[in-house]
């Protein structure tokens, strides 16, 4: 089966996604589109010139309509965040754009991956506008937050991130929550790690929540890490890896949540984000998840999506 990845939006994030996808070797073709046609063509040419240094893959700039023939479409279009701006402040501008793309993708046979922020709200906007099966419309969600958490824990404990199992769920944003009660290092509950304290949890959770703001304050955007995250998600879809990832999708009952896109541990493979898991949570974590859902419902209300 031909493996084609389409990327809509070739700004900082879209370009980083394209580079990371090429390095994985999961795609046979990468298609780029941007409203700035010259930018998309230039990025395609630039990436193609490096073909000697990544697994065989063709790179082309294509019209938006061509994306209907891809296997996975990554939506990285929209404006980025500004210093001190909440992800939810991006809501109105990016929702309008994503809805237009969603209507174009109605009847699409592949999977759509949302990267643009606020990713949870836009995942729901895409699902509504496209009418695609809910399992085939997913956002990167808290995959990046989870990666940031594991990186922070690795530095804190001086342990490889490969030995750390901890997750961030809920909104990809200020109301996200870390599942500290189930976090483990090499099979040992993190809370049994020598010297671990609740103050450490508070400090690290804050650093994860603030990570994007700190990067944006210094360089104007976050792009490389989310590019790597998205490439891993695309690889999982194309190769049917059936991994458990904290992706965002419209929920259908898990944790008591209905008709709302946010991140929970989810089985991801060729058919999209299929089986959503309900992680064990303490009462305080359950309350935090419901509070996160409330934040997202308020954002949807601003768009008259309820």
Q: Which residues are catalytic?
A: 172
Closest C-alpha to 110, from 183, 8, 38: 8
Instruction: Check whether 193 is labelled as a binding-site residue.
Output: no
Q: What are the phi and psi torsion angles at 252 (to 5°)?
A: -125, 35
Structure tokens at 175: 């109301």
Instruction: Check whether 196 is labelled as a binding-site residue.
Output: no
Instruction: Check whether 130 is labelled as a binding-site residue.
Output: no
Instruction: Check whether 161 is labelled as a binding-site residue.
Output: no
Instruction: Check whether 163 is labelled as a binding-site residue.
Output: no
The span from the CA of 228 to the CA of 81, in Å, is: 19
Which phi-psi region, left, alpha or beta, contains residue 186 (left: φ > 0; alpha: ψ -120 to 50)?
A: left
Instruction: Check whether 292 is labelled as a binding-site residue.
Output: no
Quick one: 37 exposed, middle or buried, by C-beta within 10 A (0-12, 13-18, 19+)?
A: exposed
Distances from the Cα of 167 to the Cα of 65, 145, 164, 298, 300, angstroms: 37, 8, 10, 24, 25
CB 152 within 8 A of CB 207: yes
Instruction: Check whether 107 is labelled as a binding-site residue.
Output: no
Instruction: Check whether 223 is labelled as a binding-site residue.
Output: no
- What sign for the dihedral angle of Cα 279, 284, 286, 288? negative
Annotated binding site: 9-14, 34, 94, 115-117
Annotated binding site for NAD(+): 9-14, 34, 94, 115-117
């Amino acid at each position: 089966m031909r493996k084609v990845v389409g990327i809509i939006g070739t700004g900082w994030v879209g370009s980083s996604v394209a580079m990371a996808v090429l390095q994985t070797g999961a795609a046979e073709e990468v298609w780029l589109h941007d409203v700035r046609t010259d930018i998309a063509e230039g990025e395609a040419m630039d990436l193609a010139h490096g073909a000697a240094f990544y697994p065989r893959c063709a790179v082309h700039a294509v019209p938006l309509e061509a994306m209907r023939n891809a296997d996975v479409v990554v939506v990285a279009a929209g404006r980025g965040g500004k210093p001190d701006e909440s992800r939810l402040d991006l809501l109105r501008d990016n929702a309008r754009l994503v809805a237009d793309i969603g209507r174009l993708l109605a009847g699409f046979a592949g999977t759509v991956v949302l990267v643009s922020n606020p990713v949870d709200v836009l995942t729901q906007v895409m699902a509504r506008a496209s009418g695609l099966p809910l399992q085939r419309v997913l956002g990167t969600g808290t995959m990046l937050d989870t990666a940031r958490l594991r990186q922070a824990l690795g530095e804190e404990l001086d342990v490889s991130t490969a030995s750390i199992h901890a997750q961030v769920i809920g909104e990809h944003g200020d109301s996200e929550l870390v599942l500290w009660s189930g976090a483990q290092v090499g099979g040992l509950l993190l809370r049994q790690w020598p010297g671990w304290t609740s103050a450490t949890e508070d400090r690290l959770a804050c650093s994860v929540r603030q990570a994007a703001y700190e990067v944006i304050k210094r360089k104007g955007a976050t792009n490389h890490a989310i590019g790597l995250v998205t490439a891993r998600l695309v690889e999982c879809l194309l190769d049917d890896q059936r991994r458990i990832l904290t992706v965002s999708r419209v929920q259908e009952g898990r944790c008591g949540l209905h008709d709302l896109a946010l991140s929970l541990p989810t089985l991801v493979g060729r058919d999209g984000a299929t089986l959503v898991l309900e992680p064990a949570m303490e009462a305080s974590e359950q309350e935090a998840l419901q509070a996160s859902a409330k934040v997202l419902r308020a954002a949807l209300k601003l768009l008259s999506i309820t």
